[in-house]
Structure 1
Amino acid sequence: MRHFSRGLRTLVIVLTTTLLAACHPAASKRDRVAVAWPAEAGTVVTLPMQRVSGRWLIPVAFRRPDGSERRAFAWLNMGVGAPILSQDLYRELGLAEGQNLTMRIGAVSVQVEREGVTDGPGRIGDQDLFALLFAPRTVEAVLPAGILQHFAVSIDPKAASLTLAQPGSFPLRGVPVPIRVNPDSGLVVLDARIDTGPVPLVVDVGAPYTWLRGRAVSQWLAQHPEWHRGDSAVGRANLAMADLDLERAGKIIRFPRVYLPGLVLQDVGALGTGPIGGALGEAALGEIFWDTWESDAGEPVVGWLGNNVLDNFRLTLDYAGRQSFWERQRAADPSELDSVGLTLVRRGTGYVVAAVASREDRPLVPGVEVGDRLVQVDGHLLDGLPPEAVLARLSARPGQPRILDLDRGGRSVTIKAEGANF
């Protein structure tokens, strides 16, 4: 059971939200982090963000044992409590020999005790998880909620910028929405309302799309079958591209409205995840992915709000004041998932079909089979492309044609497919 628990927690890292207790039982404790603002830095620092695979990266300067700096891209992830380094970077920075982690974020210095840092993100099969999510871009670290909670934080998707400020020194603009913060991990939870009753959700700019517990989604669909948009993850909802039932057996749902205190979110898409061990496994073990993941939230949660929602707002988190502030930048896009309905798995530098999206048990891409390797879309080779480029090739309006070239066990197959609305 011990090895199973550790393997599950590694799996959770793939899906953007990590539990670290399997390796370090108290890894994300707040008192392991020290922040220093030099006088010349003032009280506010703004950094550029880069979008890769639907996630935000920021530049960070790490300090080597000899005092020199090592620059790397870090994944901004509010669903993770403690920092994660690639195995190579962990050793280069001397943590394997007992050094603490010291980094510079803009002009601000942050130190984390070595016991609070995770050595490597883990692997799925023979693939490093950072490579699985980001290659060919090199990403070597996670900047987690456990560090971010020491600041007031603003994420501006329109300007592609991250602002960190000393608590109490930053203008708080937008609609205020109360939040709860787990002081050990820094994860932020707010209460949304869908249909009736509160729905606790983690706020996570580390996730390209909103994911929810499959059981909760099934209950909503029993009352509102018209919310169902398809079976299996497509587009940004296919955020991990790992060979998991969470994605290939998931359900795409679209809520007409999600209510936050003082704010209404329109046309909210989400993936209700499939049972990670199949129906029998879930009957025996429960929703083990979510039950394990939510321990860093510090309370029961139904899922996370991802960037399909958060991209529409300049979001400010006042951790100390337990408030978030939402300043709308654009309207929701109900066509965000419009595409050829395939769920993909990333294998090496290429992409394999893990599921074909369906409605009412009718496949939306007839002729494509699970296990086909997707070689080309409209004559464009996919091998070596990052996930967002492949999803862009598959993007299509309802009825818009796409020509798919597939490899089926060494035999070439060409399929004319059409886009669908999800």
Structure 2
Amino acid sequence: MSPLSRVLLLLLAVAPLAACNPPVPRMERVVVAWPSGEGAAVTVPMQRASGRWLVSIGLRRPDGSERQALAWLNMGAPAPILSEGLYRELGLAEGRDLAMRIGPVGVTVGGRSVIDGPGRIGDQDLFGLLFAPRSVEAVLPAGVLRHFVVTVDPRAEALTLARPGTPRPRGVPVPVRIDSASGIAVADARVGGQAVSLVLDVGAPYTWLRGSTVATWLARRPDWRRAEGAVGRANLAMADLGLEPAGTVIRLPRLDLPGLSFPDVGALGTGPVGGRLGAVALGEIFWDRWQAGIGEPVAGWLGNNVLDGVRLTLDYPAGQSFWERQRATGPGDLDGVGLTLVRRSAGYAVAAVATREGRPLVPGVEAGDRLVRIDGHPLDGLAPEAALAALSARPGERRVLELDRAGASVKVTAEGARF
């Protein structure tokens, strides 16, 4: 295959990973219906999956009946996305609108704004890649949430939707900018004395940043570098692309928002899609595509390694957020065996072995090995969070890895590392 052909394939491959984010159709019509007798707010339960939050929503079929679906709460996505099967079951392929229910609140979205399918990477669609064996069929995006005052409470595992103009929420106020087209919220932060714009997204398990931004910081502060290769929750996509295997894990001594400070914040500076060839031909295509619907340049997103520690309220109509601390976050959130994984059908393979100062952190393991068992427990069929949990370990704690290398069985004893 020619270098140009490889680049074109990479361009097609990265599109699904960015598909749950811009560029997408503009949200042309959203109608919210509060049932009579309801108060100013409703609260529905959330459940955790792969470091992300899911909520159950009701969806109206063409015959008027309702069916339930799990939706990914994604503040970094502008428009609803449905699985291909659900899109057709609800009649959107015939031009119908999307009618959903979040708790008792009805929401109707113009059908032309709804995306048909999350896209595929290899033989898996994005919902399956991120969530299987759970069946997740939809994205509940910023383009819908922006019509409410939204509170995400990790401790209570609850999502609250309130009418605009409700009393001021509790917590430290932090101004945000809401893009008029996408509804995505951007906050101004400071890292190492430098201003940086970040999307607030409880749909992301970990903070990801542009590789070019991180490279600039590391030129001045090389001590921030922790490893080459995504590990733990930073390995959030497990997609067969260069973003994670060629990424850089860093530890920010402090990240400041107006009135707030977060110490020891981990982040992944993403690698180039397709390595050096992809970087030359495509630049930071993932970020450029993702940023296109935000309305301004951003350095990345602030994910749940930070947001899990706060009760976050986004008053979209007022352009304000409110932060109430619930627990402290620590520097050990990535501690474990230094492997970057990629999902392959129902199992997991090693995309890269993390390195530090050029030395592999897990000697004896090679990129391309299929990870079969950890401490005797099989990985096939496990959800991503369970596979990552099996690799978690305190520094020096050992894990026994059983691998398949081109049909040959390999056993490696690996030690956890601090990231």
TM-score by length of 2: 0.96
Which residue of structure 2 aligns with residue 134 of structure 1? 131
Say if 2:33 is the partner of 1:36.
yes
Which residue of structure 2 aligns with residue 90 of structure 1? 87
Partner SS for 1:308: helix
Partner SS for 1:246: coil
Say if 2:231 is the partner of 1:215.
no
Percent sequence identity is 65
Q: Which amino acid aligns with 1:396?
A: A
Say if 2:390 is the partner of 1:393.
yes
Say if 2:112 is the partner of 1:109.
no
CA–CA distance in structure 2, aligned partners of residues 148 and 395 of structure 1: 34
After TM superposition, the structure 1 = structure 2 runs for residues 134-173 of structure 1, keeping only pairs within 5 Å, are: 134-173=131-170
Which residue of structure 2 aligns with residue 205 of structure 1? 202
Which residue of structure 2 aligns with residue 24 of structure 1? none
Shift of 1:285: 3.3
Which residue of structure 1 aligns with residue 184 of structure 2? 187
Given that 2:20 and 2:81 are in contact with CA atoms closer than 8 Å, whether structure 1 keeps it comes out as no
Q: Which amino acid aligns with 2:398?
A: P
After TM superposition, the structure 1 = structure 2 runs for residues 163-312 of structure 1, keeping only pairs within 5 Å, are: 163-312=160-309
Q: Which amino acid aligns with 1:305?
A: L
Unaligned residue ranges in structure 1 (runs of 5+):
22-26
Partner SS for 2:86: helix
Given that 1:44 and 1:170 are in contact with CA atoms closer than 8 Å, whether structure 2 keeps it comes out as no
Which residue of structure 2 aligns with residue 323 of structure 1? 320
Given that 1:8 and 1:289 are in contact with CA atoms closer than 8 Å, whether structure 2 keeps it comes out as no
Measured on the aligned residues, the alpha-carbon RMSD in Å equals: 1.6
Name which of structure 1's ranges 274-283 and 122-131 shifts more when overlaid on structure 2. Answer: 274-283
Which residue of structure 1 aligns with residue 21 of structure 2? 18
Given that 1:339 and 1:420 are in contact with CA atoms closer than 8 Å, whether structure 2 keeps it comes out as yes
Residue by residue over 1:150-207, the C-alpha shift from the partner in whole angstroms, topping out at 9 and shown as x without a partner, is: 0000000000000000011144111111100002111000110011231000001110
Q: Which amino acid aligns with 2:48?
A: R
After TM superposition, the structure 1 = structure 2 runs for residues 1-12 of structure 1, keeping only pairs within 5 Å, are: 8=11, 11-12=14-15
Shift of 1:259: 0.8
Given that 1:16 and 1:79 are in contact with CA atoms closer than 8 Å, whether structure 2 keeps it comes out as no
Given that 1:16 and 1:77 are in contact with CA atoms closer than 8 Å, whether structure 2 keeps it comes out as no
Residue by residue over 1:15-62, the C-alpha shift from the partner in whole angstroms, topping out at 9 and shown as x without a partner, is: 6842243xxxxx233x41111111122220101000000000000000
CA–CA distance in structure 1, aligned partners of residues 171 and 370 of structure 2: 46
C-alpha change, 1:228 and 1:145, in structure 2 (3 Å) is: same
C-alpha change, 1:139 and 1:217, in structure 2 (3 Å) is: same
CA–CA distance in structure 2, aligned partners of residues 92 and 303 of structure 1: 35
C-alpha change, 1:170 and 1:376, in structure 2 (3 Å) is: farther
Given that 1:84 and 1:120 are in contact with CA atoms closer than 8 Å, whether structure 2 keeps it comes out as yes
Name which of structure 1's ranges 163-172 and 48-57 shifts more when overlaid on structure 2. Answer: 163-172
After TM superposition, the structure 1 = structure 2 runs for residues 331-370 of structure 1, keeping only pairs within 5 Å, are: 331-370=328-367
Partner SS for 2:88: helix
Residue by residue over 1:274-325, the C-alpha shift from the partner in whole angstroms, topping out at 9 and shown as x without a partner, is: 0113224323432121112111111000000000010000000011111110
Given that 2:77 and 2:141 are in contact with CA atoms closer than 8 Å, whether structure 1 keeps it comes out as yes
Q: Which amino acid aligns with 2:245?
A: R
CA–CA distance in structure 1, aligned partners of residues 32 and 15 of structure 2: 28
CA–CA distance in structure 1, aligned partners of residues 409 and 321 of structure 2: 52
CA–CA distance in structure 1, aligned partners of residues 169 and 9 of structure 2: 40
C-alpha change, 1:311 and 1:405, in structure 2 (3 Å) is: same
CA–CA distance in structure 1, aligned partners of residues 30 and 345 of structure 2: 36
C-alpha change, 1:125 and 1:214, in structure 2 (3 Å) is: same
Given that 1:192 and 1:258 are in contact with CA atoms closer than 8 Å, whether structure 2 keeps it comes out as yes
CA–CA distance in structure 2, aligned partners of residues 111 and 221 of structure 1: 46
Name which of structure 1's ranges 161-170 and 272-281 shifts more when overlaid on structure 2. Answer: 272-281
Partner SS for 1:299: coil
CA–CA distance in structure 2, aligned partners of residues 376 and 131 of structure 1: 21
Given that 2:16 and 2:120 are in contact with CA atoms closer than 8 Å, whether structure 1 keeps it comes out as no
How many residues get paired? 414
Say if 2:401 is the partner of 1:404.
yes
CA–CA distance in structure 2, aligned partners of residues 186 and 9 of structure 1: 26
Given that 2:18 and 2:290 are in contact with CA atoms closer than 8 Å, whether structure 1 keeps it comes out as no
CA–CA distance in structure 2, aligned partners of residues 286 and 387 of structure 1: 29
Partner SS for 2:93: helix
Partner SS for 2:214: helix
Instruction: From 70, 74, 98, give the equivalent of 1:73.
Output: 70
Partner SS for 1:40: coil
Unaligned residue ranges in structure 2 (runs of 5+):
none
Partner SS for 2:37: helix
Partner SS for 1:236: helix
Given that 1:267 and 1:333 are in contact with CA atoms closer than 8 Å, whether structure 2 keeps it comes out as yes
CA–CA distance in structure 2, aligned partners of residues 162 and 7 of structure 1: 37
CA–CA distance in structure 2, aligned partners of residues 8 and 49 of structure 1: 34
C-alpha change, 1:332 and 1:16, in structure 2 (3 Å) is: farther
